[in-house]
């Protein structure tokens, strides 16, 4: 038994949306800390799986489209069946739609809320039922700066991520006594597909960089330490916290 409170050896994690971007970075960070990882998402995360195996951990690729809640229970069941347990859930899969609030469509509202908030809640529920039975578990939801701020031209995204922050606190209240830690990471501006349009917009890119005290976009690897902390016994008394990893953005 390791004395290192950040050690995840023998733990099994699910990371959603891990074929690219932040999800891939989080899956690799958990694997580096010792966890076996189920990679659940729309595009099969074969590349991430190879890299997890390269770190000496087991990887399971689970195709799942979280536009609806249909695959949720099967993702949890397959992980437990094939990797032998479930200790950590990282809800990372998410989408964004940009349009003026005056023109925003119902489709752009529903698709973002269904993926970012509804599927996230039911994944927490399915994993939480297992974790409550075993009396132990770690849930990490991926929030956003827009869990704290209003944003602009992203109404369904802001609603979903503000909802994720609220749900994280609610679930912590209900499940802390069951040995389940529910927390969130709020990434700042991280260079991924999700922010490609912002990075490509010269004016917005300059405005964003001017406001980040660290003076640079974040990389998915910048979030790894926070994820390992919240997935490990080092955070056993941390509940309902939204941990910003933002280069100082919120401090401005």
Smallest distance, ligand NAP to C-beta of residue 10, A:
26
Smallest distance, ligand NAP to C-beta of residue 68, A:
8
Contact in structure between 88 and 16 (CB atoms under 8 Å): no
Smallest distance, ligand NAP to C-beta of residue 4, A:
27
* Residues labelled as active-site residues: 157
Residue closest to 92 by CA, chosen among 154, 172, 36, 27:
27
Nearer to ligand NAP, 31 or 34 (CB): 31
Smallest distance, ligand NAP to C-beta of residue 95, A:
5
* Helical pair 119-134 and 72-83, crossing angle rounded to 10 deg: 40
Residue closest to 165 by CA, chosen among 150, 181, 185:
185
Nearer to ligand NAP, 66 or 175 (CB): 66
Binding site for ligand NAP (CB under 6 A): 17, 19-23, 41-43, 64-67, 92-95, 115, 142, 144, 187, 189-190, 192-195
Nearer to ligand NAP, 116 or 235 (CB): 116
Nearer to ligand NAP, 187 or 224 (CB): 187
Q: What whole-number distance in Å separates Cα of residue 218 and Cα of residue 28?
A: 16
> Containing H/E element for 72?
helix 72-83
How many CA atoms, within 13 angstroms, populate the side-chain half-sphere of residue 215? 0
Q: What whole-number distance in Å separates Cα of residue 96 and Cα of residue 92?
A: 13
């Amino acid at each position: 038994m390791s004395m290192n409170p950040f050690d995840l050896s023998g733990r099994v994690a699910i990371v959603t949306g891990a074929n690219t971007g932040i999800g891939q970075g989080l899956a690799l960070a958990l694997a580096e800390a010792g966890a076996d990882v189920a990679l659940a998402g729309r595009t099969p995360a074969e590349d991430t799986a190879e890299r997890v195996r390269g770190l000496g951990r087991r990887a399971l690729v689970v195709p799942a489209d979280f536009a609806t809640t249909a695959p949720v229970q099967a993702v949890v069941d397959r992980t437990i069946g094939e990797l032998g347990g479930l200790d950590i859930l990282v809800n990372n899969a998410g989408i964004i739609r940009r349009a003026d609030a005056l023109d925003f469509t119902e489709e752009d509202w529903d698709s973002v809320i269904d993926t970012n908030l509804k599927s996230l809640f039911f994944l927490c529920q399915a994993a939480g039922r297992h974790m409550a039975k075993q009396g132990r578990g770690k849930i990490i939801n991926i929030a956003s700066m827009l869990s704290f701020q209003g944003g602009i031209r992203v109404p369904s995204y802001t609603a979903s991520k503000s909802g994720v922050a609220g749900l994280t606190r609610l679930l912590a209240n209900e499940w802390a006594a069951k040995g389940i830690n529910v927390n969130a990471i709020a990434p700042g501006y991280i260079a991924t597909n999700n922010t490609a349009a912002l990075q490509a917009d010269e004016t917005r890119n300059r405005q964003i960089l001017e406001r980040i005290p660290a003076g640079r976009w974040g990389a998915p690897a910048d979030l790894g330490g926070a994820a390992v902390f919240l997935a490990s016994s080092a955070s056993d008394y941390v509940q309902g916290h939204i941990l910003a990893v933002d280069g100082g953005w919120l401090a401005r």
